[in-house]
Amino acid sequence: MTDPHNKSADLDEDEVLEPQRPRRKGIYALPNSITLCALFCGFYAVVMAMHGRFETACIAIFCAAVLDALDGRVARMTNSQSAFGEQMDSLSDMVSFGAAPALIVYMWGLKDLGRWGWIAAFVYIACAALRLARFNVNIGVVDKRFFQGLPSPAAAALVISLIWMVNEAGFREVSRIDGLAWTTFAVTMFAGLSMVTNAPFYSFKVFGGRRSVPFVVLVAIALGIAMISLYPERAIFGLFCIYGLSGYAVYLYKKAKGRPVSVIATSTDEPDERGLHH
């Protein structure tokens, strides 16, 4: 007589003996597709620079920056974050904001400086790799309001916007312009070394969102967009120069006020930072 309390007795013998198959781990298509598009933009920028089309290369890098800002937000909005996506994003950033800008700026304005030119390009790409590696290991303990060092998309934008601005002004032969090659050297070194500093650069992650702002702020944003549209290359270069210096200004200001300057778990009033101060 079959035991009524034995549920397995009612199952088919094949069903009981068949081992349970492990669940397949899939890859989220939407955010990773955006990351691949950003990677393509970085690759395309290098190809265009090899053919002397530096303005197109600059635009491709800026497109990569926009896509890089979108993939993480799309992943959070669709609840499709994954460890694979994080690693894919870092590798894409290394190409689009590390290798590509270094190669482009070298071909555009550093190659005539000889060894100093490739040293500057190497310093930039090495600092980009170090910055991305540090970001990955500190992602859980950094104050969400600040970046530790200049973010790689901003560093790339600083270098690339210089190329775009000079090309838009009609200067094609960099070596024939007194001081321009060394100015490019200085900007490249500054952008590279700024990525590995401990200066706090505002992340804008807590700007806007659910927090209300005065109406005048929207008016100022509209006026700023209108001004940028008049001379986009100059405005973008100026904005990223200001942002590139802002981290050092914040660092010196906090030092003068006797406040902590490290961005490692410095926030106590943000929900994302709870548990990081024990």
Q: CB atoms < 10 A from the CB of 59, how many?
A: 17
> How confident is the model at residue 32, as a pLDDT?
87
The pLDDT tens digits along the chain (278 residues) read: 455 555 454 545 454 555 555 444 556 778 889 999 999 999 999 999 999 899 999 999 999 999 998 888 887 788 877 788 888 899 999 999 999 999 999 999 898 888 999 999 999 999 999 999 988 888 766 677 888 889 999 999 999 999 999 988 877 667 667 788 999 999 999 999 999 998 889 887 665 555 666 788 788 888 888 888 888 888 899 999 999 999 999 999 888 888 877 776 544 444 444 434 33
Residue 171 phi, psi (nearest 5): -95, 110
- Read off the amino acid at residue 135: F
Is residue 205 within 8 A of residue 145, CB to CB? The reply is yes
In this prediction, residue 210 carries a pLDDT of 58
pLDDT value of position 155: 96
With H, G, I as helix, E, B as strand and everything else as coil, classify residue 200: strand
Is residue 27 within 8 A of residue 82, CB to CB? The reply is yes
pLDDT, position 230 = 83
